[in-house]
Structure 1
């Protein structure tokens, strides 16, 4: 074919009018889903495309607006919308929606109520019978007062004897983290010592464990010293005649021991040399309670009198308190030396405030509590809250009460259902130990401040008269009227416990050089 003839045919094709046959473009299929590839519908598709381009909100390109080929690609510049665009942070209305639980839904009742004709108010017998049957079969009662969606009670328990085959799969044991937080509390004593001839008297205080790890025990007319480190037992003294020891108390440095007798005297002994240092008189009856505050010794008598003794002076009596009408069976100075608590057989608990700059108290009680209904012997000051006092009542009371001595308020009261003979705070844990008499003769460890029982220790066959704590706070001793001393190792420090925990520090004392 000649070159001239070829270009004439090309011009003829380019200038030809009419529809162009061929496959329908992809963009045209999207605009007209019902389109086909037949050539007979191409012209109508192009006309509809032109009209849609003219009515479009986008600006077409320049040229013939009726040309479908030119209107194929619209401009990228859209018209401004009259509807404001919401901010991105704005919440969509209806975003919080209620998603019902399928198990708590009554679909039969829902379908019935949704499909019933509200406009039909027919009272025909057939309709009434239908409503009655539907009410009985669906939920019972009036179905018009029933809810479609409702919360149901806990699922009923399985019948007796039922065993879940999937129990092994869903049984979960304690994780190592939760196991680490618990500690083992033995239910049997670590050691048992014989205490023959121990006086079974609720109002006496016959046991004290000193800071040098030496236990002093009064057995009748004798005082014995048991070294908990070496196990050695030594006799310190023996009274003559029918006298017997009524109370014991170590000094705060653990070098001297105060001994109260039935004849109303108080003796001071140097236990390292087994030598009597001095005898202090002043009481008219037996001395059943003793407590130290630095170089001042407070002693409680059966007559209800309390005397402060300054052991550095020849004239040792520096104060006399007359706040009780019967025997003083409980006497304890607080750990900071600001308060003296005294409990008597007259059911009265007195709080005495120390004089400014001194180690003895005022002669007038700061607080006088009469809530106990029996003798108040068990007294214990909290080691981490020096103003908090725990007190226990006798058989007619059976309560442990907690007192805020700064305000004079009773913080809490617990009915133990047994005679409270002794109380003791743990220095390693926030727990309280109580020794009981009738009727259970047991020891209870309480979690403070919730006062939930950690454990109950049994073994004594008679009432637990006295409690004493070891210097390291890991072991406490219980003395029972069954003539046994039992050591319970219940407060061993956990490995994960911080080494910077609070510790009870003893005040320095110069008794060794100053006692005459």
Structure 2
């Protein structure tokens, strides 16, 4: 892992060695002080950004780790794996808090509703919504037209966005209704992110473009 200092002339600040295989996902904590890295070696590592110090290693899954993300308050860390599980960990201690079993490879996870809900995309279930506090499944959004490998939840509303091959589908997560489809990319959409106020959605695609979309009110 290479940490770069952003500016007119980008310089490499430091290199973080430690993983034994390909790194699959990176996530910065909300306060930018901690970096989480996921790897094909089935582990997740937490790093202190300022010093490059490895804080801890979590043996997260029995298969490769596909995704890692922090909760909005930075207290929880969600990981997804090829073993079909999504797990939630306490950042301060590395203790396992919850396990959500999907049964097939999990592609991406995203926190929503202030960290109360976790959206999960997997091979068999396009989108599952889980209650982080209770561990109960709140809803499943099934759409035969969607093969979703990336998902994002709006921080300020019930909006949920997921890739639909090269298009983007937006749902109301409270009732599972599809609100609209955003068409424009010419290749697979592999990244989605809402703005902090939830009014803008950014998408990244294999067509080498990033697009900004106005989210329907």
TM-score range, shorter chain: 0.7 to 0.9
Superposition TM-score, scaled by structure 2 size: 0.87
Output one character per residue of 1:104-153: Cα deviation in whole Å (capped at 9) or x when no partner: xxxxxxxxxxxxxxxxxxxxxxxxxxxxxxxxxxxxxxxxxxxxxxxxxx
| 175, 194, 211: which one aligns with 1:469 | 194
Output one character per residue of 1:47-81: Cα deviation in whole Å (capped at 9) or x when no partner: xxxxxxxxxxxxxxxxxxxxxxxxxxxxxxxxxxx
Output one character per residue of 1:166-188: Cα deviation in whole Å (capped at 9) or x when no partner: xxxxxxxxxxxxxxxxxxxxxxx
CA RMSD of aligned residues (A): 2.1
Q: 1:377 corresponds to which residue?
A: 107
Correspondence 1:277 to 2:2: no
Alpha carbons of structure 1 residues 413 and 471: separation in structure 2 relative to 1, 3 Å: closer
Larger strand fraction of residues: 2
Residue 326 of structure 1 and its aligned partner are, at CA, apart by 2.6
Larger helix fraction of residues: 1
Correspondence 1:289 to 2:18: no
Greater Rg over alpha carbons, structure? 1
**Separation in structure 2 between the aligned mates of residue 288 and residue 351 of structure 1, nearest angstrom:** 18
Residue 483 of structure 1 and its aligned partner are, at CA, apart by 3.5
Q: 1:399 corresponds to which residue?
A: 126
Residue 282 of structure 1 and its aligned partner are, at CA, apart by 0.4
**Separation in structure 1 between the aligned mates of residue 42 and residue 128 of structure 2, nearest angstrom:** 22
**Separation in structure 2 between the aligned mates of residue 474 and residue 367 of structure 1, nearest angstrom:** 31
Correspondence 1:338 to 2:75: yes
**Separation in structure 1 between the aligned mates of residue 176 and residue 26 of structure 2, nearest angstrom:** 29
Q: 1:433 corresponds to which residue?
A: 161
Question: Number of residues paired by the alignment?
Answer: 213
The secondary structure found in structure 2 opposite 1:319 is strand
Correspondence 1:267 to 2:5: no
Residue 471 of structure 1 and its aligned partner are, at CA, apart by 4.9
| 45, 48, 56: which one aligns with 1:319 | 56
The secondary structure found in structure 2 opposite 1:385 is helix
Q: 2:118 corresponds to which residue?
A: 389
Alpha carbons of structure 1 residues 366 and 278: separation in structure 2 relative to 1, 3 Å: same
Correspondence 1:446 to 2:176: no
**Separation in structure 1 between the aligned mates of residue 196 and residue 98 of structure 2, nearest angstrom:** 31
Superposition TM-score, scaled by structure 1 size: 0.39
Residue 338 of structure 1 and its aligned partner are, at CA, apart by 2.2
**Separation in structure 1 between the aligned mates of residue 156 and residue 132 of structure 2, nearest angstrom:** 23
Structure 2: unaligned runs, 5 residues or longer: none
Structure 1: unaligned runs, 5 residues or longer: 1-265, 356-360, 494-516
Residue 327 of structure 1 and its aligned partner are, at CA, apart by 2.3
Q: 2:213 corresponds to which residue?
A: 488
